[in-house]
Copies of this chain bind each other. A is one copy, B any other.
Amino acid sequence: MKLHGKNLVAGQWETGRMGLPFQATNPVSGEKLETVFQEATKKQADTAVTQAGKAFQSFRLKSPGERAAFLETLAETVEEQADAILAYAHLETALGEERLRMEMLRTINQPRLFAELIREGSWVDARIDLPEPGRKPVPRPGMRSMLQPLGPVAVFGASNFPLAISVVGTDTICAFAAGCPVIVKAHPSHPGTCELTAEAVIKAIKAHKLPGGTFSLLHGKNHEIGQSIVRHPDLAAIAFTGSLKGGRALMDASAARERPIPVFAEMGSINPVFLLPEALRDNMESIAEGFFRSLTMGNGQFCTNPGVLVAIDSPKLDTFVERVAELIGKATPKTMLHTGIHQGYSQAVHSMCGNPGVRIRARSGVAPDPARLEAEILLLETNLENWSNSPQLRQECFGPASILVRLNEPDEIHQFANNMEGSLTATLHGTPADLEVFHRLQVLLEPKTGRIVYNGFPTGVEVGYATHHGGPYPATSTGAHTSIGIDSIHRFVAPTCYQDCPDAQLPTELKDANPLRILRKVNGRTTKETIHP
């Protein structure tokens, strides 16, 4: 596969070679991949955002149908390029063909799903309060409002989803669907995958004669290029998926801007799994197997990986631990995504194992090979007091390790919930009787978690209307928003209200005739009816 390693600035591959060179690494072999990429310069970042600001003026005025057609073409151009992208993505990430093919399916479905959403059109949340010219003491004006795009969005892709949360991942697709140009900061661990995907984006942009500034792809191994993008005055919003450290740096950078802008960062989450007594008694075997599968899925490199098990001391819990230990013992370590993640995991695990209150309950049978960036699979154990007093144990450990917090008595489960940080998910394994007895646990979890899973496991997020992949800090920067699911488009829009606006000047969605036949809230009533002035 011949790549050129260049930056895409406002729709053009830059020909000059000015930035610092870097190469991606094959995580399995440790060998550097052939293509030399160059980091983008500050000037390129400035141009990309400035041009995005210019492109916004026309891109946001495209009709929903035109934007939908663009997204559908994008799905096609990515699909045409899929085999090449998949082959390269495996070289750069070692995620395996099967997993990557599943991810590609989701990646191609996403633009189609959002095309459907914006073609239908009701998502803009049109509201119409009719005027009352005769109201006393003053007439009531007519007010209409709808969601409109914010402007250029910077997207920082994730290393663990090189397709579905990267160049044409949810963030980019939502931004395009809303009418926002995108500047992608390519993840340095899979720059080639990014380049190949970006080629598909340009094809779609050219096919629809959109301005070049609609899309840029900038490379960078260090944080400077990201900071240059984030500091640019024309930028309107930031989307990020990755570590707490990386996300917080972007939050801080936005807060330090002259004009702060919204940062939608999906960061660190412990995703506790609560094993309630009856469920453990009745379904120990299937819970153990399900837990093992969830823990090791994607080699533990999921934001919803179950990092903590919480259960009340009992003989059945010992049997459960033995069963999990057996499964882990038979498993072989797998290669992690890149050196940074491997190092972070090794250090976190080393520090957790060094905690005097922590016991190692299970480890993968074969020793991991650090040269191949392999991760040991681990089940650790501690008690509530030690967990509560050890900051290291209370935060996300990104990889296939989980820690069992063994409780001495039932009420400790509420103390755990009270003390835990915000999390993307929490999981309850409970019979109907368990769930009734521990109802207070659910109540405590509701304000702390974005999604509560019952008798299942947190890995794998459905893309739907009810999806909420969010949660209070440190799980995300803004717990009210979701980075996955239909509602994720709401991150990149804000309402505009029109007071006493003549019909001719109103956006199509708000006109009396309701030409798009969308659902609107008229005087508070949800309806598709037209308005007779």
Contacts and interface: CB of A to CB of B under 8 A. Distances in A.
A390 to B, nearest CB: 17
B144 A466 contact: yes
Contact of A439 (B128, B482, B487, B505): B505
Contacts of A364: none
Contact of A452 (B452, B499, B524): B499
A497 B148 contact: no
A207 interface: no
A521 interface: yes
A462 B505 contact: no
Interface in A36-72: 56-57, 60-61
Interface residues of A, number: 80
A446 interface: yes
A324 interface: no
A474 B502 CA distance: 28
A143 interface: yes
Nearest to A120: B524
Indicate how many identical chains form the complex.
Answer: 2
A447 B479 CA distance: 24
A140 B462 contact: yes
A439 B506 CA distance: 11
Contact of A466 (B129, B478, B479, B526): B129
B435 A497 contact: no
A514 interface: no
Nearest to A251: B260
A342 to B, nearest CB: 28
Nearest to A492: B480
Interface string A450-468: 1111111000101011111
A1 interface: no
B143 A496 contact: no
Nearest to A427: B499
Given A446-B148, A478-B262, A497 B451 contact: yes
A500 B425 CA distance: 13
A197 to B, nearest CB: 24
A444, A474, A498 interface centre (most CB from chain B within 10 Å):
A498
Contact of A473 (B260, B454, B490, B524): B260
Interface string A132-172: 00000010110111001111000000000000000000000
Contacts of A198: none
A65 B324 CA distance: 47
Contact of A497 (B138, B252, B450): B450
A127 B466 contact: yes
Nearest to A438: B505
A305 to B, nearest CB: 16
Contact of A145 (B148, B467, B499, B524): B467
A466 B145 contact: yes
A366 interface: no
Given A138-B460, A262-B478, 15 more contacts: A127-B466, A140-B462, A143-B464, A143-B466, A145-B466, A252-B255, A255-B260, A259-B421, A435-B502, A449-B496, A451-B499, A468-B495, A480-B493, A480-B495, A487-B495
- What 6 A-B pairs are tightest by C-beta distance, nearest first? A255-B255, A468-B497, A127-B466, A480-B494, A129-B464, A143-B466
23 contacts: A57-B443, A57-B444, A61-B443, A127-B466, A141-B456, A141-B462, A143-B467, A148-B447, A255-B255, A259-B422, A260-B477, A432-B502, A432-B504, A435-B504, A439-B505, A450-B495, A451-B497, A451-B498, A452-B498, A466-B497, A468-B495, A468-B496, A472-B494
